[in-house]
Amino acid sequence: MPGDGPTLVLARHGATEWSATGRHTGRTDVPLSETGRRQAGALRDRLSRYEFALVLTSPLRRARDTCELAGLAEQAQLEPDLREFDYGDYEGRTTDQIREERPAWSIWRDGAPGGETPDQVGERADRVIARALEAGGDVAVFAHGHLLRVLGARWIELPGAYGGNIALSTAAVCELGYERERRAVWLWNDTSHVR
């Protein structure tokens, strides 16, 4: 991959019962489903081509277990800023359920009452990016769908709300790097290893 800096390899955790049903899963520490464990195991071969200077994982179990099943737990450091979006009062609810009370609601525009806004999540993503850039090499990041989408947007210097424009499947891999001196997205939402 051409460029003048490290590659950030993002890995979304495998499926959970809540992700399979579209429930917003922020603070709730739900485990991987059997499907999610298989998906996470498939990351082992997919990520074996890299030599990581740093491996970061969200402290939530679904991300930590994905990191472990991908074979990188021994190198991993917990990073609290990689926790998922705090959905506040909307935790555990689906978008359809929320829109029964609040039509046209969008996490990307409206945030969550009692939780976070995309800009607040973007501040956390910026701290993760800064830590990754100090690592001196490629970095693996195991985290959550909405947080990683915000991180992708912030990598290319867009507001966190632009994460709403870049979908991310469970157990997907993304590569963020450089084209010459500019930050660039080289790969997004690759799930070829779990098909």
Is there a domain that residue 93 lies in?
A: yes
Catalytic residue among 13, 24, 144, 146: 13
* Three-class SS state of 20: helix
Count of domains forming the chain: 1
Residue 3, CB half-sphere, CA atoms under 13 Å: how many? Answer: 17
- Domain of residue 137 covers 8-194
**Confidence (pLDDT) at 5:** 84
DSSP conformational letter for 32: B
Which residues of the chain register pLDDT less than 70?
A: 1-3
Is there a domain that residue 3 lies in?
A: no
Tokens of 31: 């485990």
Looking up residue 160, the CATH number of its domain turns out to be 3.40.50.1240
CA distance 32 to 34: 7
Is there a domain that residue 177 lies in?
A: yes
Catalytic residue among 79, 84, 91, 116: 84
The residues pairing with 110 across neighbouring beta strands, listed in sequence order, are none
Please compute Rg for the chain using Cα positions: 16
Residue 157 catalytic?
Answer: no
**Confidence (pLDDT) at 3:** 61
**Confidence (pLDDT) at 134:** 97
Is there a domain that residue 2 lies in?
A: no
Residue 100 catalytic?
Answer: no
For the whole model, what pTM was predicted?
0.96
